[in-house]
Amino acid sequence: MDFSYSEEQQMLQESVQKFVMQKYDFYTRGDIIKTEAGYSAENWAMFAELGWLTVPFTEEDGGFGGKAVDLMVMMEEFGKGMLVEPYLSCAIMGGTLIADLGNEEQKGALIPQIMEGAMITAVAYAEQGSRFNSNNVSTSAVASGDDVVLNGAKTAVLGAPNAQTIIVSARESGAATDADGISLFLVDANAAGVSIKAYTTIDGRKAGEVTLTDVRVPATARLGAAGGAAAVLGAVIDRATLAVAAEAVGAMDSLLTKTVEYSKTRKQFGTAIGTFQALQHRMADMFIQCQLARSIVVRAAMILDSDEDAVSKARAVSSAKSRVGKAIRKVGQEAVQIHGGIGVTDELDVGHLFKRVTALDLMFGNAEYHLQRFASL
Amino acid sequence: MPSDGPIFETMGGLSAAEKLSSKRSIFAYQLTPLVLVLNPEKAVLSAEDRVPGARLPGRIEVNCEAIRRLCTIRAKFNVRLANSHSYDTHTTLCHRNRRQTVNADFTAEELAFQAEVREFLANEFPAELKQKVDKRIRLSKDEIVGWQKILYKKGWMAPNWPKEYGGTGWTPTQKYIFSTEMGLVGAPEPTPFGVTMVAPVIMAYGTEEQKQRFLPDILESNVWWCQGYSEPNAGSDLASLKTMAVRDGDDYIVNGNKTWNTYGQYADWIFCLVRTDNSVKKQEGISFLLIDMKSPGITLKPIVLLDGHAEVNEVFFDDVRVPAANLIGEENKGWTYAKVLLTHERTNIAGVPRGKRRLASLKRIAAETDDGFGGTMADNADFKAQLAEVEIELQALEYAELRTLAALSVGKAPGPESSILKIVGTELAQKMDEMTVELAGYNCLPFVPEQFEEGFEGEQMGPGSSAAAALSYFNNRKLSIFGGSNEVQRNIISKAVLGL
């Protein structure tokens, strides 16, 4: 038993920490969000240079060979800085889907580009009617000669406005919630028939509603076997779910630290509010929530990296995401409450951390969804 | 330069290298003792300067393409970090050790130990005791002592004692394994008052004579100890205790009363905190005194709890004469000793194994309990969600405990993290009591505590142990109150961890 990080994991952690400290203060982040792209291309190039974009890829694919624990280490630090760059959507989700499902040609064409920072991908899997079930796909894929024609509407596509390639889930056969019949297609974001309604999310990222109207892609744009993508898509979403849970652990850490610091300096009734037991116990409870969240995320990361079967892994991810979601509400709401009025203003980072963790609770299914999923598996 | 050839071309008959069958394993292999230098021009990875104990002697020729790519990535980390002040000595590019660090695996020795504990429990934990635990029937003193003597015979009575006193000398992980396996089968841990609570104080502060006199009988369970700390007006504020001990020749004369004295009715001896000086700060006038329960002037008054059972007592001291030889350490230093005792490492404080047993039992009972609408409580959506929530909380708690244990294993002192385990563990146990009551429904109405006592021969009320549900729910409200109330634990966290 050993919960300490390897030297390499420590380096990874320190390197992200340094970046956040030196290059990603709250105001710089705010300026980045205000730009049209909504992320910093300069930062993205640095992520490539630092090797961060290679972390999710195996050594065989030229990557760092990062496991769930490595992703956890990185994402936790990203969470502290509330990064808006599309790391999750491009490197973890898009990249891993291509690596796990793509043929040598597809991998060769895309993975090096992603690792170099020259290609941004996004994954369009959710639909208005699907809620958090990635097997609920109404978007259709119909063969037409050597091509496939895609029609449908995708929602909440994280990073879509920045992506050159969007990976779209579409149904080739079966009923709306069947696992069989779902394929993934590499779609050029500028292809005819693709329209992206871009927006900024509550936590400062770029996302979009993607509509596909008679979008024609060659059959070679399909990732993996026809109709057989559901299992891999589910596993990649599980990995991404662990990643956002880890991100939330980092963000909650910041919320607790900032709240405790604030309570030591803010004076009311002639004394620091941190001396009031009513508040001390609430901060102690925040600390407990942070520790339990961290513990269960470590557990899930270890199980994802183990030889356990797919069901055990899915259960571990759901238990972690559900528990983290519970912690998120407690820690987020209490942080704002203890800050008082300033906590609900746009000018302080605490409110933005609260918004970020709220979005993270939602991502890939909230606490209630994952509790139910855990119970049903 | 080899390009698409085999991954390894060995030179000089490298048997170790032959075992490495994948590119990945190069980095999984223990490379730390070696200084590896990559020379992409020659496509040679050489192990320079043979180091004693290194497992890769000589030179290895390698298909360098994958490795070069990987090293470039690593180099980027290193070069960037080398520019910052904390990393200025990274000159080699490719020496990272790819061991799997973060893991909850037991070592081979630990697994063997776990198997030994399991085998021991399977063979030696008496079946009739197990039955009683399962049926929630209270164990008698003789049964508890009998079980402890079995543990003693095996040499496992004192997991937290050093070997020199007859303890096990176990590592924190071994202790964890032991208490986990005990909890999973429902085997009671030794009553804590002697072996866990007073013994470490005697070891640390007692005289040689006191050690000889008291420790062997604790180890062999010949003497039953109880605790004399709390008083009617000294609960969470323990230091305000008032029981007085006044020196009179070679004796102390003790007057006052103690309360919440667990199993005092079985006890031969009591360890007490008594006031020996009224003129100083309250913490500085307290002494640690051992008192024979047969001493004239001691009376015991049982306190009946909400479950109808008197597991605790009030103890009255009326001019009780105690030899000064029974004083531990120095007079007026008792508070310091007591604090050591209070922070003394307690294994299994979170109660995860017991929680797992209870969860399994809740699931079983839910499947056997009608919901009144033709199904069982196992199908009830709300109850299912509660079960899932408890299971998830147990997982989080278990890993919080393992993280604490891992810190202990590398020599860190048990910190205020144990406050988390106490709070969460007790709240979870209480939650499961609530769920047991919910499942029992009307069957928890009968108040017949004696049917869960040894030797009950009357008519059983309520199927199974359902009538114990409310009793346990009532009794276990104590969990968040004793051992430092959960509010005191929150004070500890806010002071010791958050610095408030």
List the domain boundaries for chain A. Answer: 7-119, 122-227, 231-376
Q: What is the pLDDT of residue B53?
A: 35
Q: What is the average pLDDT score of chain B?
A: 81
Tell me which residue has tokens 């006044």. B246
3-state secondary structure of A194: strand
Euclidean distance between CA atoms B7 and B23, whole angstroms: 7
End-to-end CA distance of chain B: 64
| Cα distances (Å, whole numbers) of residue B455 to A273, B130, B458, B471 | 57, 16, 9, 19
| CATH node for A122-227 | 2.40.110.10
Q: What is the pLDDT of residue B75?
A: 55
Q: What is the pLDDT of residue B26?
A: 28
Euclidean distance between CA atoms B353 and B361, whole angstroms: 12
The mean pLDDT of B13-38, rounded to a whole number, is 30
Highest mean pLDDT, choosing among A69-78, B99-108, B344-353: A69-78
Q: Do B409 and A8 touch (CB under 8 A)?
A: no
| B345 assigned to active site | yes
How do A182-188 and A222-223 pair as beta strands? antiparallel
Q: What is the DSSP letter of A86?
A: S
Which residues in chain A are closer than 8 Å to B101, comparing Cβ atoms? 2, 4-6, 9, 69
Name the pLDDT band for A269 (thresholds 50, 70, 90): very high
Euclidean distance between CA atoms A310 and A244, whole angstroms: 19
Angle separating helix axes A367-376 and A310-339, nearest 10 degrees: 160
For residue B314, the cross-strand partners are: B301
- Of B133-137, B351-355, B493-497, which gets the smallest average pLDDT? B133-137
- Using CA coordinates, name the residue in chain A closest to B410: A2
For residue B323, the cross-strand partners are: B251
Share of chain B above pLDDT 90, in %: 64
pLDDT of B56 higher than 70: no
Q: What is the pLDDT of residue B35?
A: 29
pLDDT of B50 higher than 50: no
Q: Are A152 and A214 in contact (CB under 8 A)?
A: no
Report long-range pairs for A63-67 (Cβ below 8 Å, ≥24 apart): A63/A99, A63/A111, A63/A115, A63/B73, A64/B70, A64/B73, A65/B24, A65/B27, A65/B70, A65/B98, A67/A301, A67/A304, A67/A305, A67/B100
Q: What is the pLDDT of residue B2?
A: 35
Euclidean distance between CA atoms A137 and A168, whole angstroms: 10
Yes or no: is domain A7-119 CATH 1.20.59.10? no
pLDDT of B454 higher than 90: no
Copy the structure tokens of residue B60.
Answer: 């290895």
User: pLDDT tens digits, residue range B250-276?
Assistant: 999 999 999 999 999 999 999 999 999
Residue B66 contacts A where some CB pair is shorter than 8 Å: yes
pLDDT of A358 higher than 80: yes
Q: Do B101 and A299 touch (CB under 8 A)?
A: no
Q: What is the pLDDT of residue B456?
A: 83
The mean pLDDT of A81-88, rounded to a whole number, is 98
Q: What is the average pLDDT score of chain A?
A: 97
Q: Do A51 and B388 touch (CB under 8 A)?
A: no
Burial degree of B61 (CB within 10 A; 0-12, 13-18, 19+): buried
The mean pLDDT of B4-17, rounded to a whole number, is 31
Chain centroid offset of residue A5 CA: 22
Facing B76 at nearest CB: one of A1, A51, A296: A51
Share of chain A above pLDDT 70, in %: 100
Q: What is the DSSP letter of B231?
A: B
Name the pLDDT band for B481 (thresholds 50, 70, 90): very high
**How many CB atoms are closer than 10 A to CB B486?**
20
pLDDT of A376 higher than 50: yes
pLDDT of A271 higher than 90: yes
Segments of A159-235 assigned E as strands: 165-171, 182-188, 194-200, 206-218, 222-223
Facing B493 at nearest CB: one of A9, A274, A287: A287
The mean pLDDT of B462-473, rounded to a whole number, is 88
Copy the structure tokens of residue A215.
Answer: 């979008």
Element housing A240 (H / E): helix A230-265
Copy the structure tokens of residue B92.
Answer: 């080699």
Euclidean distance between CA atoms A222 and A202, whole angstroms: 32
Element housing A319 (H / E): helix A310-339
Q: What is the DSSP string of B11-67?
A: SS--HHHHT--SHHHHHHS--TTSEEEEETTTTEEEEES--TT-S--SEEEE-HHHH
Euclidean distance between CA atoms B390 and B435, whole angstroms: 10
Q: How many CA atoms lie within 13 A of A223 on its CB side?
A: 30
pLDDT of B47 higher than 90: no
Q: Which of A255, A287, A377 to mutate to test the interface with B (most CBs of B within 10 A)?
A: A287
For residue B288, the cross-strand partners are: B273, B328
Residue B499 contacts A where some CB pair is shorter than 8 Å: yes
pLDDT of A351 higher than 60: yes
Q: What is the pLDDT of residue B91?
A: 25
Euclidean distance between CA atoms A107 and A109, whole angstroms: 5
| Cα distances (Å, whole numbers) of residue B497 to A187, A350, B40, B142, B492 | 51, 21, 50, 43, 8
The mean pLDDT of A333-352, rounded to a whole number, is 96
Q: Are B391 and A319 in contact (CB under 8 A)?
A: yes
Facing A59 at nearest CB: one of B66, B81, B400: B66
User: pLDDT tens digits, residue range A36-60?
Assistant: 999 999 999 999 999 999 999 999 9
The mean pLDDT of B303-315, rounded to a whole number, is 95
The mean pLDDT of A325-337, rounded to a whole number, is 98
Q: What is the pLDDT of residue B222?
A: 97
Burial degree of B66 (CB within 10 A; 0-12, 13-18, 19+): middle
Q: What is the pLDDT of residue B88?
A: 27
Q: Do A298 and B403 touch (CB under 8 A)?
A: yes
Q: Do A287 and B397 touch (CB under 8 A)?
A: no
Angle separating helix axes B381-409 and B172-185, nearest 10 degrees: 150
Radius of gyration of chain B (CA): 30
Euclidean distance between CA atoms A131 and B80, whole angstroms: 42
Residue B490 contacts A where some CB pair is shorter than 8 Å: yes
Q: Are A256 and A331 in contact (CB under 8 A)?
A: yes
pLDDT of B20 higher than 80: no
Q: What is the pLDDT of residue B346?
A: 56
Euclidean distance between CA atoms B435 and B383, whole angstroms: 8
Q: What is the pLDDT of residue B414?
A: 66
How do B269-275 and B225-228 pair as beta strands? parallel
pLDDT of B300 higher than 90: yes
Which residues in chain A are closer than 8 Å to B86, comparing Cβ atoms? 14
pLDDT of B10 higher than 60: no
pLDDT of B23 higher than 60: no
Residue A278 contacts B where some CB pair is shorter than 8 Å: no
Domains by residue range for chain B, with CATH: 8-82 (no CATH), 108-190 (no CATH), 225-339 (2.40.110.10), 352-497 (1.20.140.10)
Residue B173 contacts A where some CB pair is shorter than 8 Å: yes
The mean pLDDT of B187-192, rounded to a whole number, is 92
Copy the structure tokens of residue A362.
Answer: 């939602």
Share of chain B above pLDDT 70, in %: 78
pLDDT of B14 higher than 80: no
Euclidean distance between CA atoms A58 and A170, whole angstroms: 27
Q: Which of A47, A111, A286, A288 to mutate to test the interface with B (most CBs of B within 10 A)?
A: A288
Which of the residues B65, B345, B391, B427 is marked catalytic?
Answer: B345
The mean pLDDT of B468-485, rounded to a whole number, is 92
User: pLDDT tens digits, residue range B86-123?
Assistant: 322 222 223 334 445 688 889 999 999 999 999 999 99
Yes or no: is domain A231-376 CATH 1.20.1250.20? no
Residue B417 contacts A where some CB pair is shorter than 8 Å: yes
Euclidean distance between CA atoms B219 and B166, whole angstroms: 8
**Is the torsion defined by CA of B178, B183, B186, B191 positive or negative?**
positive
Provide the b/e sequence for B144-182 (b: ≥16 CB within 10 Å). bbebbebbbeeebbbbbbeeebbbbebebbbbbbbbbbb
Q: What is the pLDDT of residue B344?
A: 58
For residue B228, the cross-strand partners are: B272
pLDDT of B44 higher than 50: no
Name the pLDDT band for A224 (thresholds 50, 70, 90): very high
Euclidean distance between CA atoms B111 and B173, whole angstroms: 11
Which residues in chain B are closer than 8 Å to A60, comparing Cβ atoms? 23-24, 66
